[in-house]
Each structure stands twice: as C-alpha cells, then as structure tokens.
Amino acid sequence: MNTALSWKNERVTTEPCVSRRALLVCAPYYADAQTLQKALSSDFPVQVFADLNLLAANVGDEAGAIVLTEEALLGSVQQLGQALDRQPSWSDIPIILLASNRNRAGKDNSLARRRLPASASNIVVLERPLSAGSLASAVASSLRSRARQFDMRDRLAELADERSRLHTLLENIPVGVCFMDLQGRTVVSNPLYERYVPGGTIPSRAGEQAHRWVAVDSNGHQLAPQRFPGARALRGETVGGIDFCHSSPDNGESWMRVSALPLYDAHQQIMGAAAVILDINEEKQAELALRQFNETLEAQVQARTQALAAALSQLESESAERERAQEQLRHSLKMEAVGQLTGGIAHDFNNMLTGVLSALDLIRRRLDKGQLDGIPRYMDAAQSSALRAASLTQRLLAFSRRQSLDSKPLPVNELITTLYDLLDRTVTEQINLTLDLCAGAPWVLADANQLENAILNLVINARDAMPDGGVITVSTQAIKVCELRAELEALQPGEYVRVEVRDTGTGIPPNLIDKVFEPFFTTKPQGQGTGLGLSMVYGFARQSHGRLAIESVAGQGTVVSIYLPVAQPHQAQDNAAQGAIAPGALQQILLVEDDDAVRMLNRDVLVELGYQVTVACDGQQALKILETLPHLDLLVTDVGLPGMNGRQLAEVVQQLRPSLPVLFVTGYAEGAASREDFLGANMQMLTKPYVMQDLADKVGHLLQGAAR
Ligand SMILES: Nc1ncnc2c1ncn2[C@@H]1O[C@H](COP(=O)(O)OP(=O)(O)OP(=O)(O)O)[C@@H](O)[C@H]1O
Ligand SMILES: [Mg+2]
C-alpha cells in the first residue's frame, strides 16, 4: 500500500445501505485500493478500478457515486468527461475526490478539483488522511443525493408517461379541448379544437372573426360576445354547454356546444381557462329536421284534415243532394201515381155521372111533358151507371185496404169449386180452365165475397192475356211460412193457403211487372180495363193479413198467388133458415144520418118498405128523440157522424134500450175495416152505396132476429 495514504484504523459505521447502487472507486495505488475496498465494501457495493479510463467505461445510469483518489487524475480525464456527458439530464453523479495536500502548501485542494473534467459538477473534496467513518459518512450522503436524482428520474418518467397518456387522450378524444391563457389564447389544445377555432383565440376575443360565431341560449336568444363561455370562464365562472353556430366560407354552417371553466394558480389567481367543444351538428340537424318534420307534419295533418273535412262536407252535401233527388223522385212518383189515380177516378166517374145525370135529366123532361114511355129505360141506364160507380169506389176502397171486410173462416177449396161454373162461363171457348186443389180441405180466414171477386178478377186477367186460347189453372196449396222466410215473404210466420191462378198467356214484360199493382195501371184498350183489378186484389190480400205475389215470363205466362191465413174450420151459418123477408109492419125505426139528401132518401125508402121512421141528423138529436119515443124497434145510423159517432151512439142507445138491434150504414169508416171487431151484439152493417133491396134485406133480418 502507498504509505502516502494512511487510513485511521477505526470502525466505520454508515447508515444501513442507503443505496445498493454501485460505488465506483478508482485508486491507482494498490494499497489505497485495498484500504478503500476494505473500508467501504461492508456497507456499499464497491467496484474498484486501478485506472480512470476503466472506471469511465463502467459509468452507467445506475452508478451510485464515484470515489477517486487524487492520483487517479494524474492521467487523462477525457474519457471520464465523455462518460459524464453521456449521462441523462437528470443525472449528476456525485464524485468524492480524496485529495492529498501533503505536498501542497496550505490546504488548497482547488488544484485537485481542477483536474476533474468540466462536466463534473457534483464534487465533494475530502482531505486525506481521513477516518473511515468520515469517508463512509460522505459516501452515504453522496448516495442519498444520488438516490434523490433517481427519484427525480422516476417522477420525470411518470410525468412523461402521464403527459403521453394525456396527449394521446387529447389527440383522440372526439371533443375539442383547449387550455388558454388570460388573453384567451390557446396554450394547449387538441387537433379538434384547432379545427373548430383555427385562429387559436377564443371567439369573444377573436376580433374580426367573431362575427362567424353566433351563440344562443336555451330559449334560442342570441348572446353578446361577453356572455360567451370562454369570456365568462376567464372572469371566474364555470359555464355549462352553450350552443354555437359557426359559419365558415369553406364548411358552411356547423353547430357546436361549448363549456368552459376557469383555471387557478397556486395563489388562487385565475391564470386562464379550459374550454371543451362538442360537435352537435348532427344533433342540431336532426333537431332541425324533426322541427321541420313536425311543422310539415302539422301542416300535412292540417291539410289532410281539411281535405277530409272538405270530402266529408262534399259527401254530406252529395248525400243531401241525393236525398233531395230521391225525395223529389219519390214525390214525383207519388204525384204521378196520385195524378194517375185522380185522373182515372175523374175519368170513370165523369162517364158514370154523365150516365146518371143525363138519364135523370131525360126522366124529368119526360115527366114534365107527362110522357112516361122510355122512363124505365133511362132509369135502368142511371142505375147501371150508378152501380158501376159503386163498384169503382168499392174497388178503390179495396185497394186502399179500407173496405169493410167480413172475414170469416172459409173452406177455400169448396168456395173455388162452387165458383167454377161462373169462371168457366167468363173465359172463351179456346181456354181450358182447370182446378188443381190441394188435399186436406183447408180453411182460410177471409171475406167470401171479396175472395170470389179476387179470383174472378185474376181469371179475367188470365183470359185477357190469352186471346188465342190456352190453359188457366186455379190451384190451392197449403204453405208453412217459417220465421226465416217470413220477412222475405212480408208475412207473419204461420200457416197459409196459396190460391194460384196460372195462365199460359202473353206474360208481363219485366219493366212493367212492378207497376201492375198500381191502381189505374192498365195495358188494355180504352174502355176494356180500368187497371183496378190487381190493385184491389192486392189491397184485399194485405187487409186479410195475407199477400199477393206475381211471377211472369213474357211470352210464357203468368202466375198470380194470393196467400191467405189458415183458419180453424167453422160451422157454416145456416142463412137459408132465415127464410124470405117479410115486408115492414109499421115497426118504429130511428134513422140517424147527417147528409140531408141521403137522410131524406133513406127515410122514404124505409117508409116505402112499410116502417115508421123518425129521423135525426146527429147523435145528440137522436138521444133527445129517444127520450120522447115510448117504443123503438131498430136504430139505423150512419157511422161517420159529427160529434158522437154512430158506434158510440149505438152503445149509449143499447144501454138505454138493451138488445135493441142496430144497423150501421156506412160508406167508409175508419175502424170499421174488420166487421168482426167493429160489430157488437145485435148489430149489422150495410155498406154504401146499396140498392133498396139490400136495405130491405138487412132491416128485415134484424127485425126478424129481434122478434125471435
Ligand atoms: N195474367 C196476366 N197476364 C198478362 N198481363 C197481366 C195479367 N194480369 C194483369 N196483367 C197486366 O196488368 C195490368 C193491370 O191489371 P189489372 O187487373 O189491375 O187491370 P186491368 O185488367 O187492366 O183492368 P181491370 O182489371 O180494372 O178491368 C193489365 O192491364 C195487364 O197489362
Ligand atoms: Mg183486371
């Protein structure tokens, strides 16, 4: 060992392992190297080099400290200088220089220091000789400072990592971010922000460019630049999203939402602000599109509603128009029917009245001249005309379903069989009339006279449809009309007999078939048909709770069917037992009639027939007269009277004179359509017009009945 270097042999105590980083030692003298190795290796990892260049080659980042004896600097220090220069910026390796002032005057160790390369800055010079403790303490202190450098390095590395992560985040985040200084100038920003704010200064401070930015609040009101979020943040406010519309000549209009917050320094002084910009262009466009859609939707709905309302009102007006047109059509059809009806009635009545009036006129002239010859002829003519008129009114009443029907159970097959002779006489020789009557001898509820009349009418129609002859079949069938068919057939469900008159005649063209039931509709030549036959049969069938149906094929023939309700068999009245009518024997009759002429004529007829007659013109007068009449055999009264009607009068009179016979004489009376319902005990009805014999028969029957 170099004796120049003497180590005090004392025990070295160092802080336990401050750092395990290598302590690089260079001591060219072997003895020094031994001593240093010995003094330090128990506490520190020591690498000892005899040559400085060798040490320089081993100086890496992880070197803890360098210990040099002054003798190590006697050669070139260049390589050590280069090794120190290669160190990273944070690294400043401590160098402990063990100086030897033994040969120097005083204790100036600056010479030794100056031998170190210029890049060595962290130097501790220790005077030799020194104790092992001092050396260890200096080494420990240097290693601690070196450890702080490593800490700093690690912190810097962490910071660099953090910065890199932040940078990556800022580069890739889909929002614009900026940190600005107090003047609103960008300090740190990401590319997106730079794209939004190319000038690098916030809009409120952007001078000329400011007009490109329009900010609106949540109510859509435009904000002044001092209310922009950047400006407010620089005044210390934290500002939530404010919507901006930015217009640029290149990209047109785009929408963004900007938030900002102030940044403070360590003294709580505002040092700038951070701003975040969110692209809301798509959202705004969608919102705009939605608003436009809503507006157009509203407009569309409104337009559609209007169109619908217009269509509806047009429909309503069309429907009203159609209704009006239909009403007009119905009205004109009605008027046509009424016109046809009244025209027909007027025409036929005029003919008949002319017959009656002319005959009466001639009779008067003959009587004036005292000539009686010819009078019976005129009277016959007048009577024939009047009877035709009577038949006409009868048929009209039948059609209007207001004739007075005497509906009774009838053996319908029997009735037809009895009628056969009359029917056969009515048709021509070329026509073969056959009957095809069902088994079971059914009974129907109907007025016998009217049924006969109806069948006769149908047979005459069939005859007229077969000028060159053919076959007429009158048949009956029992029919059950079930619930289902009832409506179709316009009948109540139940049992019916269908009386059919079938011919092989001309048939009816389809365009006329709907008209044939109309009164006065006829295709027959003037004077041959009145057009009342079918309408009468139709009215009769309906009034009898039945139905009339017609089927026809032009050129083939026609079937007309009368449906009549089935009745229970009924004991036929023995009219024959009543015998001949005895002439009047001055029985007392009270005659009530409001028509003066009819009253006068009826009284004369009754007097003529041999009765005593008292007359009254209404019910009141009749009751007064009744009080003065000690005896009364018969009340003959009109039904349609002013005030109390004939039916009511009959009831009052029968209370006063029980079982007094009553004869109603009526043209047409509401409520008298069904005799069964109308007539009470000891009551009979005679329908106007009638001939004297009819009146004589009815009065005679009633008085005979009362006498029995
Ligand atoms: N069996 C039938 N075949 C062909 N046409 C018929 C037949 N029955 C009725 N018609 C047609 O119906 C019309 C009306 O008949 P309807 O019996 O009501 O009157 P009319 O026979 O002409 O006159 P009226 O019966 O009053 O003498 C007839 O004019 C005829 O055109
Ligand atoms: Mg006819």
Mean pLDDT per 10-residue run, the chain (708 residues)?
Answer: 37 40 90 89 88 91 90 91 91 91 61 85 88 88 91 91 89 89 89 82 74 82 88 92 84 87 93 91 85 82 88 88 83 75 79 86 90 88 86 76 80 94 90 94 90 94 95 95 72 91 96 89 84 90 92 95 87 47 82 91 90 95 94 92 92 91 81 72 84 86 76
For the record, the structure tokens of 618 come out as 């209404």
Strand pairing partners for 127? 99
DSSP secondary structure letter of residue 552: E
Any residues with Cβ below 6 Å from ligand 1, and which? 457, 461-462, 465, 503, 505-508, 516, 521-524, 529-535, 558
Ligand 1: residue of 392, 474, 534 to mutate (most ligand atoms within 8 A of CB) is 534
Q: Is 640 exposed, middle or buried (0-12, 13-18, 19+ CB in 10 A)?
A: middle
How many CA atoms, within 13 angstroms, populate the side-chain half-sphere of residue 529? 20
For residue 534, the ligand 1 atom closest to its alpha carbon is 18
For the domain made up of 578-707, give the CATH fold. Rossmann fold (3.40.50)
Query: Looking at the domain that runs over 175-279, which CATH code has it been given?
Result: 3.30.450.20
Q: What are the tens digits of pLDDT across the range 604-633? A: 989 988 999 999 999 999 999 999 999 999
User: Ligand 1 atom 9: the closest Cα is on which residue?
Assistant: 461
Q: What are the tens digits of pLDDT across the range 252-282? A: 888 889 999 999 999 999 999 999 999 898 8
What are the C-alpha distances in Å from 368 to residues 378, 381, 383?
15, 19, 21
State in words which class domain 23-156 has: alpha beta
For the record, the structure tokens of 169 come out as 């985040």
For residue 505, the ligand 1 atom closest to its alpha carbon is 3
| pTM for the whole structure | 0.49
Q: Are 170 and 177 in contact (CB under 8 A)?
A: yes
- Which residue is it, tokens 């220090």? 77
Measured in Å, residue 538 CA sits from the centre of ligand 2 at: 12
Q: Would you call 569 helix, strand, or coil by DSSP? A: coil
DSSP 285-303: HHHHHHHHHHHHHHHHHHH
Same fold, 23-156 and 175-279: no
Measured in Å, residue 518 CA sits from the centre of ligand 1 at: 10
Confidence at residue 301, expressed as pLDDT on a 0 to 100 scale: 85
Domain ranges in the chain are: 23-156, 175-279, 401-565, 578-707
User: Under CATH, which architecture does the 401-565 domain have?
Assistant: 2-Layer Sandwich (3.30)
Q: How far apart are CA 453 and CA 447, in angstroms?
A: 10
Confidence at residue 501, expressed as pLDDT on a 0 to 100 scale: 97
Confidence at residue 623, expressed as pLDDT on a 0 to 100 scale: 95
Measured in Å, residue 574 CA sits from the centre of ligand 1 at: 37
User: Ligand 1 atom 12: the closest Cα is on which residue?
Assistant: 516
Dihedral, CA of residue 382, residue 385, residue 387 and residue 388, to nearest 10: 180
Confidence at residue 484, expressed as pLDDT on a 0 to 100 scale: 64
